[in-house]
Chain A
Amino acid sequence: MNDFIPAFEWQRVMVEPWAENLSTTFWIVLMGFLITAACGLIGNYLILRRMALVGDAISHSVLPGLAIAFLLSHSLNTVPMFIGALGAGIVTTVMIELIHKKTRVKQDSAIGITFSTLFAIGVILISFGQTDAVDLDTECVLYGEIAFVPLDLVKTELGPGMLSVVEKIPGLNSELFLDGNMLTIAPPSVIRMAVVTGVTLLLILVFYKELLVTSFDSGLSSSLGINATVVHYALMGMLSVIIVSAFEAVGAILVIAMLILPGATSSLLAYRLPTMFGITVVHALLSAVGGIHLATWLNCSPAGAMVVAGSALFALAWIFSPSQGLLLRWFGRELDKLDEEEIERLVKGT
């Protein structure tokens, strides 16, 4: 299998990405981290609300919105893309509701029919438009193009005054940002993702109480005067925006993993929502870094490798979780016995 799986060389896999290809690695890891963090944060709520598969549906069905926006505006600019994705997200939610409320088709089938129809429309639109479309193709839909993120860096020229100021700021004076008198800002897609992640975090902080109450106790939320429908649709809108900004980098299907994996991992390890958010962010960082090394080693898609790394982290959490881990299950009998002994000791002690 040596032709297929390259040998693991420490130098090539672990050191070179950071030593020699720093600018490429840094932007890919940052992009991966931002996407996984934003998806993971909102994914926590999806999991709590048992809406993980609505995320699945929306991630498939933003495609026709994107394709239409792209075919109309002939560009992948932020505004038309966001409008297209929001429209597609709303259409998805409405279609699912319509099918399962108006007929006897159950919600699961309604979800399946809706997203497959919209996704098929998207793929056909892209296939027909492929002659003049350069950036949006079926490859991008499936694999994501996170590897191309560092290719279009935005740079500005600094005047001598600014240059001396910038050079004094620690971190900015490295070769990553400063090339002669050219200051590298960031690839536009990373900037957009950073804004989206920041807004997501901000909204979660500001509306923490509303999201918490509507997720756990719908009765309490209506008695507090919180409109659960508005919260639901706002969450769906935010989800569409996050998915569309992640779309180009990781594709339609891998984004589902980014939505669910961090939240599922944290739900195995913690019971308090703030702790879960913390674990989500750590999971995002580890899977982005792990993914880039895995991709370097195996020479495969970085987006796919990040998800594989995230799945591996989930598997670790599943095995070692202190409350519901597999180890605990396998050796649970001994632990029970220990507990009994300890209780006995405590009882005798008092």
Chain B
Amino acid sequence: MVALLAFVPESAWAAKIGDVAEETSLGQQAARFFSFRDPSVRYAVIGSVLLGISCGLLGCFIVVRKMALVGDTLSHAVLPGVALGFLFSGVSVSGLFDWSFDVDNITKNPALIFAGAVIAGVAGTLLVTTLKQTTKIKEDSALGLTLASFFAVGICLLTMIQDLPTGNKSGIDKFMFGQAAAIGKGDIQLMLGVTMLIVAVVFVFYKELLVTSFDAGFARSIALPSEWVHHGLMLLVAFAVVIALQAVGVVLVSAMLITPAAAAYLLTDRMHRMLFLAVGFGVASGVIGAFISFLKPNIPTGPCMVLGASAVFAVAFFGGPRHGVLTRWWRHVSRSKRVQRENTLKAVYQVLENRAAQPEDSVSLKELAERRRETLDEVSGQAQALKQHRLVTLHEEGNKILFTPGGWQLACTIVRNHRLWELYLTNAANIAADHVHDDAEKIEHILGDDVVRELERMLDDTTRDPHGRAIPGFADIHKPFAPSASGPSGYGRSS
């Protein structure tokens, strides 16, 4: 790809918005976009990557500190600063009080817009703090009030700029919803510098940021200046918001802070992993958004990037390995199915036990249904589920149930868990024998091997449970199967 760039003279590819759209098929458009032949595409992609990095990094701290809506307020509040920074390029200062304003000098100067926007953003956060401190207005109202008031001032200034007799105002309306294609070389230099600053500060002050975000009390006790960390973080967020403005726009830039970080928050419990994930998500959604906006003229970049980030969040929300809604639902379903299976196995064991029969003997569906106090249909479904897991075999059109060796072992283990726990509760915790069954009924499915060994060590005599029934021991669990008296032999091999 680098070689291709070297061979193609740059001037052959005009850097205009919508160049990519000229290609006919989506594949060709993608090839053209990702070949980075057009300088505007290159700038847009580099810009998206940079804003993904800076927003992703800072967004993590915003999300874990529950300041998502502070970020939103800050991003709306920069609008008057953008407008004033744009206007200020037309001011020439020749003395302390000798300023002159010339409409024709107005240009889109990234540094001035950056300065104006940062000042406005910081002023907005200070206003929120002051309102909270001096009045009884709550934080949510203070945030909404600041957001909308600053935005209104910005709207007034923008409509005034649109009436100015100058041709150089074309860039300013792209700040609302963003246009990655409008990113120029000056913007990229500024973005690069600011992103490097943000990465460096987060790297150097990682410990301080981590401690103040998660444990305010501990931060105080080791004399960390939490207030200053907070203000510093807000300043960095203002930086990140402002460099993202050109590509994402004022209205939606807060989403690039919140959404990738929230998606990362669903996937990991470690802050450093969350930072890397959020940066990855931010970069991916930024580049995809830039690509989509190049496909058709007049499609603003910001909403495309935000939808990309929202799609990532949706995937994490539904399919995240630990916190995903669908994953958790599936885990819940499979766990309750396992509990159901184990309870059925236990019932089969108890039927055999009551008959004083051997493990090789068969149990009829009717006996099982009586034991479980359920209908034949329900029990037959449960027996099918056991068969699928190769815990039992079914004979005589599914009316006779025979343990497989594995099923017998599992049944013994469950019953042993249950009775050991009952014994433990009566002997060690001094609970009456008629009160221990319900508790044991729940815990029998989750007792691990180590807990069982611990119980065996603590209890002196593990042959009889509090109700006088035998607790199946190792000899029972690993009992060699003899040919069955009441059913066909060849268990375990029949399907």
Q: Show the binding face of A for B, using Cβ within 8 Å.
A: 1-5, 47, 50-53, 55-56, 99, 102-106, 108-109, 111-113, 116-117, 119-121, 123-124, 127-128, 130, 138, 142-143, 253-254, 256-261, 263-264, 267-268, 294-295, 298-301, 303-305, 307-308, 311, 314, 318, 321, 324, 326, 329
Q: Which one of B107-115, B147-155, B447-455 contacts A? A: B147-155
Q: How far is the CB of A28 from chain B (nearest CB, A)?
A: 15
Nearest CB of chain B from residue A298's CB, rounded to whole Å: 6
Say yes or no: B141 contacts A324, CB within 8 Å: no
**Secondary structure at chain B's binding surface: helix, strand, loop or mixed?**
helix
A117–B306 CA distance with the chains assembled, in angstroms: 7
Judged by a CB distance under 8 angstroms, whether B68 is at the interface is yes
- In the complex, whether B63 has a CB less than 8 A from a CB of chain A is yes
Give A252 to B147 CA distance when docked, in angstroms. Answer: 12
**Knowing A109-B258, A138-B177 touch, does A47 contact B68 (C-beta < 8 A)?**
no
Among B137, B158, B254, B300: residue with most chain A CB under 10 A: B137
- 18 further A-B contacts with Cβ under 8 Å, apart from A52-B145, A300-B159, are A4-B103, A106-B63, A106-B68, A109-B66, A111-B68, A112-B258, A113-B258, A116-B252, A116-B310, A120-B303, A253-B76, A254-B148, A258-B148, A268-B136, A300-B155, A300-B160, A304-B156, A304-B159
Q: Which residues of A contact B135 (CB under 8 A)?
A: 268, 318, 321, 324
Contacts of A103 in B (CB 8 A): 266, 317, 323, 325
Complex CA gap A269/B108 in Å reads 43
- 22 example contacts (A-B, Cβ-Cβ < 8 A) are as follows A2-B101, A3-B101, A4-B101, A51-B140, A56-B69, A102-B325, A103-B323, A105-B262, A105-B265, A108-B66, A108-B68, A109-B261, A113-B310, A116-B255, A116-B306, A123-B303, A143-B159, A253-B148, A295-B156, A299-B160, A300-B156, A307-B155
SS of A interface (majority): helix
Contacts of A311 in B (CB 8 A): 145, 149, 152-153
B76: chain A residues at CB < 8 Å are 253
| CB <8 Å contact, B298 and A127 | yes
Set of chain A residues within 8 Å of B72, measured between Cβ atoms? 56, 112
Which of B151, B157, B258, B261 makes the CB contact (< 8 A) with A253? B151
Kindly state the separation between the CA atoms of A298 and B164 in the bound complex, as whole angstroms. 12
> Contact between A142 and B302 (Cβ–Cβ < 8 Å)?
no
In the bound complex, do residue A308 and residue B149 qualify as a contact, i.e. CB atoms below 8 Å apart?
yes
- Are B156 and A50 neighbours in the complex by a CB distance under 8 Å? no
In the complex, chain B residues 321-368 whose Cβ is within 8 Å of any chain A Cβ = 323, 325
Whether B123 sits at the interface, judged by CB under 8 Å, is no
Residue among B103, B144, B265 with max Cβ neighbours from chain A (10 Å): B144
Give the docked Cα–Cα distance between A288 and B148 (Å). 16
Set of chain A residues within 8 Å of B478, measured between Cβ atoms: none
How far apart sit A257 and B146, CA to CA, in the bound complex (Å)? 9
Cβ of A142: which chain B residues have Cβ within 8 Å of it?
155, 176, 251
User: How many chain-B residues does the 8 Å CB contact rule pick out?
Assistant: 62
Give the contacting residue for A120; candidates B67, B302, B317; CB below 8 A: B302
Query: Are B148 and A257 in touch, CB under 8 angstroms?
Result: yes
A residues near B157, Cβ cutoff 8 Å: 300
CA A178 to CA B144, docked complex, whole Å: 42
B405 within 8 A of A: no
6 closest A-B pairs by beta carbon, nearest first, are: A257-B148, A116-B255, A307-B152, A304-B155, A120-B303, A311-B149
Contact B258 A52 (CB under 8 A): no
- A5 to B157, alpha carbons, bound, how many Å? 10
Does A263 lie within 8 Å of B152, measured CB to CB?
no
Indicate if the CB atoms of B156 and A52 lie closer than 8 Å. no
Q: Is B71 touching A112 in the complex (CB atoms < 8 A)?
A: yes
Q: Contact between A123 and B266 (Cβ–Cβ < 8 Å)?
A: no
Q: Across the two chains, which residue of chain B brings its CB closest to A265? A: B145
A124 touches B299 (CB 8 A): yes
CB-CB < 8 A to B188: which residues of A?
none
Do A111 and B160 touch across chains, with their CB atoms under 8 A apart? no
| Contact across chains for B69 and A254 when beta carbons are under 8 A apart | no
B304 CB-CB contact with A under 8 Å: yes
